[in-house]
Chain A
Amino acid sequence: MSEMNFEYKVEGGDFTRAGYASSQIKRMLKQLGVDSNIIKRVVVCLYEAEVNIVAHAYRGVIYISLSTDRINMRLTDEGPGISNIPRAMQKGYSTASKEVREMGFGAGMGLPNIKENADIFNIESEVGRDTTLDITINLNHEAA
């Protein structure tokens, strides 16, 4: 299989559509016969990151790059950015609104859970501008 690339747009605040990209990717990985435990790690990362864009940013784009042995997911948004990334990575720390919490998120568990499920995880942010997450998961073996 040569490399396949996909792109999904995400609108801030649009909770009805949050999870669409994750759902599409899950279906595709299933069709490709990827191990179900690995699929779960991929979609949990992607879904949490997608919800983060919906919850915190104005808009964002998800870039997926899929090859035989790994999936790279880059989620980049235009939004308020994160002023203190180490603090954002701490379990339990969140700046989410009441509305986001009412949707069952915003407990400060998303970013730590993404890091735990990813083989490679990187986050960069500029306050008042953007945040970009790069997540890589190897498709042909269990968690590192």
Chain B
Amino acid sequence: MKVADICDAVKGKLICGEDKRDKDIEFAFASDLMSDVLTIKCDSLLLITGLANLQTIRTAEMSDAACVLFVRNKTITDEMKLLADESGIPLITCSITMFRAAGELYKAGLKPLF
């Protein structure tokens, strides 16, 4: 599933990483617990989260997440965007809940890890 398709499925907005619209993503993992994200051994991963701070982007960088989707209209700061840009990680925001985002993306074909 491409980053652009993920945006469409959750009616989200790509706020960073415009050049990554065609990037392919196969799996998704939803968590607000960054230590849990750091236990995942998968590269082509969409991180779905409600936690919006610099460490969310750092965690995505360290765990080689391919894209981050922030649910429930979280505020993404300029520092977060800058760090995501440096790390080549596209960021998407959407207004729906984490449960609904996960459901819509599962329906659209993204796979769970376990």
Residues of A within 8 A of B (CB): 15-16, 18-19, 22-23, 26, 36-37, 40, 43-44, 47-48, 51, 103-107, 109-110, 113
Q: Can you give 11 contacting A-B residue pairs, CB < 8 Å?
A: A22-B62, A23-B62, A26-B62, A40-B64, A44-B38, A48-B38, A103-B55, A104-B32, A104-B59, A106-B35, A110-B35
CB distance from B53 to the nearest CB of A (A): 6
B18 within 8 A of A: no
B33 within 8 A of A: yes
Of A19, A36, A103, A107, the residue contacting B61 (CB under 8 A) is: A19
* A15 adjacent to B55 (CB under 8 Å): yes
CB distance from B40 to the nearest CB of A (A): 10
Chain B residues with CB below 8 A from A23, complex form? 58, 61-62, 87
Per-position binary interface string of chain B over residues 53-92, scored 1 when its CB falls under 8 Å from any chain A CB and 0 otherwise: 1111011011110000000000000010000000100000
Closest to B79 in A: A16
Chain B residues with CB below 8 A from A103, complex form? 34, 51, 53, 55
Of A19, A40, A109, the residue contacting B58 (CB under 8 A) is: A19
Q: Provided the pairs A107-B35, A109-B36 are in contact, do residues A44 and B58 lie with their beta carbons within 8 angstroms?
A: no
* A19 adjacent to B34 (CB under 8 Å): no
* B55 adjacent to A19 (CB under 8 Å): yes
Of B33, B43, B54, B64, the residue contacting A107 (CB under 8 A) is: B33
* B61 adjacent to A26 (CB under 8 Å): yes
* A40 adjacent to B41 (CB under 8 Å): yes
* A18 adjacent to B36 (CB under 8 Å): no
Chain A residues with CB below 8 A from B64, complex form? 36, 40
